[in-house]
Structure 1
Amino acid sequence: MTVRAGREFLAIPGPTTMPDEVLQAMHRPALDIYSREMVELTETLLAELSKLFATKGQSYIYIANGHGAWEATLSNVLSRGDKVLVLESGRFAIGWGSAATAMGADVEVLKGDWRRAIRPAEVEARLRQDKDHKIKAILAVQVDTASGVFNDIEAIGKVIKECGHPALFMVDTVASLGCMPFEMDKWGIDVAMSGSQKGLMTPPGLGFVAASDRAREVHKTANMRTPYWDWTEREGPEHYRKYAGTAPVHLLFALRQAVNMLLAEGLENAFLRHRLLAEAVRRAVAVWAEGQVLGFNVAEAHERSNTVTTVVMNGNDPVSLHRYCKEKCGVVLGVGIGDLQGQAFRIAHMGHVNAPMILGTLSVIEVALKALDIPHGKGGAEAAIEWLGESVGA
């Protein structure tokens, strides 16, 4: 017996649910890739990506996922043997650092904790030790989708500046761009990257990089550069070089529509929507945690992200919960990954998401907890409803 007929709900942190308008935008013939229309599509998207990153710097579009965009950032500003400092707060900065190691960098990890955010004071202490300025780049993520942590990128940028350290500050915004405030220039970030499949509501397959003037100056002498990722190659006069070949036309149609929708909503409104819905999720999890089995992975409330919540099950196997939600009710939860594999589930609340989607997901989880006799505090979904009722004005 199931109650899952109808559209399946994706509550995973990427790829996220795509708006019907974005799907429809792709349902059209390909463009002449040498046409003025194609050139204008690229030019407007690059300009608006820089607006999303909040930078006057140059943006680039790659036919790649986030892992490809990692490689694009590294190869354009590093030389083999350069020392890179990775700020750990979960799986993804570590993964970025592993890519740097494979490419020939000397990587050091500033050890962190999957249950807390990066501590700016620890970053400052390490940089002050580096009196010879051997560290050439610092890698951090704004939101780690494995741990669910939010890192205060503004505060980290401030301590780097106060130290007077010349390392490039590089930030992964895959799970935050378009969902949470990000100020590349204001916060002293030299290189930022993101992907299409989360807050930007577009199919997987596009990676984005933004570079400051300082990063582009370092780029001139970087010896990790390869033809596909190279910024200089992409700045040539021929339009096709901006994609190192044939443009991903239909993904660009999708991105154009998604960005239109995001800008029509207004970035500040999108940030507020994400904050309200994230807090609704957190209110529900806090109630469920009263049963002493479920709990937040991220210990400090102010370090929990507005795009994904990671819920640990304290010795209980989450597989049965995943299976019940998907097979019985049609809701797909994120699984625990990395160090949290088999210990947690994740609730995404990013991108094309609204109150009924979140409340429906929370209610299904509560149904599953009851059906599976998993101890939990009662009334989690009701707590989420109360929060939204108090916070969303008439």
Structure 2
Amino acid sequence: MSSNILLIPGPIVISENVQAALGTPSLSHTGPEFAAIFCSTLQKTRKLFKAGETAQPVLLAGSGTLGWDVAASNLIIPGERVLVLSTGYFSDSFAECFQTYGAKVDKLTAPLGGQVPVSDVREALANGHYKMISITHVDTSTAVLNDVRSICRVVKEVSPETLITVDCVCSVGCEKLEFDAWGIDYALTASQKAIGCAPGLSISMLSERAVGVALNREAQSSFFASLKRWIPIMQSYEKGSAAYFATPAVQLINALDVAIGEVLKPGLDARIAKHRDISNWFKSKVTEELGLKLVSANERVSAHGLTAIYVKNPPEVISALKKSGIVIAGGIHKDIKGEYIRVGHMGESACNDSLQHIQKCYDALKSLNL
């Protein structure tokens, strides 16, 4: 097994306890033992999103991308309009998903490395009736962090009937997110980033309003991703009683229960502050001491779970770091794909000081005389 330090924007290094949870023996997915684990995981998921009892968590076997399909196939009827705020590759891909299910999509595209101005969002909402607005909290192609709270406030003011969907794949566990307080209707994430679990779980949270939209939908455009099928299953498990539609990922759910427990143990706010501190330290070292430029335009719009950095020869830098035992990622934004690298600093690598992963990564970058 490789001893490399994995510092891509997900999957990330997982803790020993989470690794052990993945290796537990199989359980009957309809037995009381697993029902208790699933119940615990669903309840912890509420705390992770800062969501109350009226919100509905949904945990499905699949990648974070499955959460896009869940939103597009359950909350939007073909022909309805969706406003997508684009800050990079993943925002654009979500727009494509909506279009696949027949939605009429309008995009507001941010300048590279920046956010869509809130004034533009206000104007678009005022001039068009949208069933939904989609916000990518952190687009991992650019490491841009959106001001979800401010956008939600504008939506509630200008177009309160519009559903608010937030892609939180690279933000839950490392960025401030308040599902209930901000009035989010649908938020999606995945197990393999700042939550600190292995890949393979799509994690969603729905508001009471979104649950109503999904359950009252007449025509279904998805089978496996149907919330009409899954919501009763989740509700049953959260009451401690197993139910069946499709087999859940037993070991992954067990590992997620452990991983979220580790996130919540020091306090969610403390965990988020730790990510912010590590991110700020790394970014300042890279820009001030190495003289490199970030893709994200400034500190205000910079994500805290990863850093995107312009370098002269990304493949050469990636290869050199790999020889030092550190694995980072290249760029994927279509306009600058061959011009930058991405370094992830989430979960264990950011929060377990004994590992010194981010320090080692910086030292390796510094040794290259970039």
Shift of 1:123: 0.3
- Out of 221, 227, 238, the position equivalent to 2:223 is 227
1:32 maps to what in 2? 28
3-state SS of 1:104 partner: coil
Shift of 1:287: 2.0
- Out of 6, 11, 14, the position equivalent to 1:10 is 6
User: Which region of structure 1 is more displaced relative to structure 2, 161-170 or 223-232?
Assistant: 223-232
Is the contact made by 2:108 and 2:116 (CA closer than 8 Å) also made in structure 1? Answer: no
User: Which region of structure 1 is more displaced relative to structure 2, 264-273 or 57-66?
Assistant: 264-273
Letter in 2 for 1:268: D
Distance in 1 separating the partners of 2:250 and 2:73: 25
Is the alpha carbon distance of 1:243 and 1:258 closer, same or farther for their aligned partners in structure 2, counting shifts above 3 Å? farther
User: Which region of structure 1 is more displaced relative to structure 2, 241-250 or 253-262?
Assistant: 241-250
- Out of 45, 51, 56, the position equivalent to 1:49 is 45
3-state SS of 2:265 partner: helix
Kindly report which structure 2 residues correspond to 1:106-185, keeping only aligned pairs within 5 A, or say none. 106-130=104-128, 133=129, 135-185=130-180
Is the alpha carbon distance of 1:110 and 1:144 closer, same or farther for their aligned partners in structure 2, counting shifts above 3 Å? same
Letter in 1 for 2:51: T
1:65 maps to what in 2? 63
Shift of 1:242: 6.3
Is the contact made by 1:90 and 1:113 (CA closer than 8 Å) also made in structure 2? Answer: no
1:377 maps to what in 2? none
Question: How many equivalent pairs are there?
Answer: 357
Is the alpha carbon distance of 1:286 and 1:64 closer, same or farther for their aligned partners in structure 2, counting shifts above 3 Å? same
Letter in 2 for 1:364: A
2:318 maps to what in 1? 322
Aligned sequence identity (%): 28
Shift of 1:289: 5.2
1:365 maps to what in 2? 365
Letter in 2 for 1:119: P
2:78 maps to what in 1? 80
Q: Deviations over 1:168-202 (max 9, x none)?
A: 01001110101111001111111000000001111
Q: Bigger relative contact order, structure 1 or 2, given CA contacts below 8 A and separation 6+?
A: 2
1:297 maps to what in 2? 295
Is the contact made by 1:80 and 1:223 (CA closer than 8 Å) also made in structure 2? Answer: no
Q: Does 1:351 align with 2:352?
A: no
Letter in 1 for 2:225: W
Distance in 2 separating the partners of 1:99 and 1:338: 18
1:244 maps to what in 2? 245
Is the alpha carbon distance of 1:107 and 1:264 closer, same or farther for their aligned partners in structure 2, counting shifts above 3 Å? same
Q: Deviations over 1:82-117 (max 9, x none)?
A: 111110111111111111111111111112122102
Letter in 2 for 1:226: S
* Larger Rg, first or second structure (1 or 2): 1
Is the alpha carbon distance of 1:222 and 1:54 closer, same or farther for their aligned partners in structure 2, counting shifts above 3 Å? farther
Q: Which runs of 5+ in 2 are unaligned?
A: none
3-state SS of 1:207 partner: strand
Is the alpha carbon distance of 1:39 and 1:323 closer, same or farther for their aligned partners in structure 2, counting shifts above 3 Å? same
Q: Does 1:261 align with 2:262?
A: yes
3-state SS of 1:115 partner: coil
Distance in 2 separating the partners of 1:243 and 1:251: 17
Is the contact made by 2:125 and 2:159 (CA closer than 8 Å) also made in structure 1? Answer: no
Letter in 1 for 2:227: W
Shift of 1:224: 4.7
Letter in 1 for 2:42: L
Is the alpha carbon distance of 1:268 and 1:324 closer, same or farther for their aligned partners in structure 2, counting shifts above 3 Å? same
2:89 maps to what in 1? 91
1:378 maps to what in 2? none
Shift of 1:341: 1.4
Is the alpha carbon distance of 1:264 and 1:165 closer, same or farther for their aligned partners in structure 2, counting shifts above 3 Å? closer
Question: What TM-score comes out, normalization by structure 2 length?
Answer: 0.92
1:210 maps to what in 2? 205
Q: Deviations over 1:315-355 (max 9, x none)?
A: x22110100110x2011112111223111001111111244
3-state SS of 1:235 partner: helix
Q: Deviations over 1:46-82 (max 9, x none)?
A: 1211221111200100101011111112211111111
Shift of 1:261: 1.1
